[in-house]
Amino acid sequence: MSEDRKLAVLRAIVEDYVQTREPVGSRALVERHALGVSPATIRNDMAALEDEGYITQPHTSAGRIPTDKGYRLFVDRLSTVKPLSPAEKRAIQGLLDGAVDLDDVLERTGRLLAQITRQVAVVQYPSLTRSTVQHVELVPLGAERVLFVLITNSGRVEQRVVALPPGVSLVEEPLAGTDVLAVLRTRLNAATAGASLRDVPQLVLGLGDRFQPAERPVVQAVLEALDDSLDIDREERIVLAGTANLARSGDFVSTIGPVLEAIEEHVVLLKLLSEMADGAGGVGVLIGSETAHEGLQEAAVVASGYASGGEVVARLGVLGPTRMDYPTNMAAVRAVARYVTRILTS
């Protein structure tokens, strides 16, 4: 059995099983695919693929279906990730170009991926650990409160309403008539613009010493809000869309319950996305047991990173049954990730 023919037979089995959801027999392969060999040879090839663990027979007298190992070989041997059609590209551009902010971009991205792939869309918010400061803004909210806004290079916005200490007022002496917020804003931006969030605490260390004693309570309150915004170890956020697509697939042999439970545990999905490595065409794929999670043994994840400022800041992708259309889903995930990157860097 030649390596090329083995791959051709496996590819045909995967494609037919994804399309029909029925075990594939040798006769169907001969009828649907121009493999250039006899039915007897196809049966021998299928027996060899089964011996090597790439396909399996779900029950006696049935055809064969791919195993996780078979799907993995199929995905690894995809020569290219096929491009989307012009109509699909226009649909992606039309939906995402109308977004008004990062939250809107990611919400639209989730809905779009779920619609295109008919899988569960998973979109990770930009990781604070990979972000840099773009701008800090301070807006007075009356005499005793200040709106603190931190904007990162990835478009993520962290906001805090800062309550000034008791007895401190921006409109009463000794602060009346001073420009403490304007000066503090200027100095914060000068110290932190372009810096990694991990480096910011060290960069603003001692900043309060540069202000008059009467101004320092305001400065300290703002710096505490900044420090709270930099709590990069807190749980990150994700957007989910299309969960109902799992129920429509009908592909889970045991029960859909464990998959739904795994999806509800956002930390599981965040861990998967964070640890995935890109494969062909900048897209990563985890299949079945490769997810290393008991509830996802019958599921697969296809994901790709999106970038801001030339650096990957988070990942987006789809989750569905192992019997999924990998080429189409990989193409959709890659295309959407590229559009999100373009939006964040424009």
d(CA 264, CA 261): 5
> What whole-number percentage of the chain has pLDDT above 90?
46
pLDDT tens for residues 284-301? 999 999 998 888 999 999
How many CA within 13 A on the CB side of residue 225?
A: 24
Of 138-147, 154-163, 249-258, 299-308, the least confident:
249-258
pLDDT of res. 71: 94
pLDDT of res. 144: 92
pLDDT of res. 40: 85
**Per-residue confidence at 281, pLDDT binned at 50, 70, 90?**
low
Q: Are 142 and 226 in contact (CB under 8 A)?
A: no
Mean pLDDT, residues 154-170 taken together: 88
Beta bridge partners of 160: 148
Checking if the pLDDT of 217 tops 90, the result is yes
**Per-residue confidence at 234, pLDDT binned at 50, 70, 90?**
low
Compute CA 334 distance to the chain's CA centroid, rounded to the nearest angstrom: 11
pLDDT of res. 140: 92
Mean pLDDT, residues 30-52 taken together: 87
| Structural element, H or E, at residue 272 | helix 266-275
d(CA 209, CA 264): 47
d(CA 42, CA 35): 9
On whether the pTM is more than 0.95, the answer is no
pLDDT tens for residues 69-106? 999 999 988 866 777 788 888 888 888 887 878 889 89
**Per-residue confidence at 232, pLDDT binned at 50, 70, 90?**
low
Checking if the pLDDT of 16 tops 90, the result is yes
Domains of the chain: residue spans and CATH: 3-65 (1.10.10.10), 86-127+236-345 (3.30.450.40), 130-229 (3.30.390.10)
Mean pLDDT, residues 223-234 taken together: 79
Region class of 269: left (phi > 0), else alpha (psi between -120 and 50), else beta: alpha
pLDDT of res. 137: 94
DSSP type of residue 288? G
d(CA 64, CA 221): 66
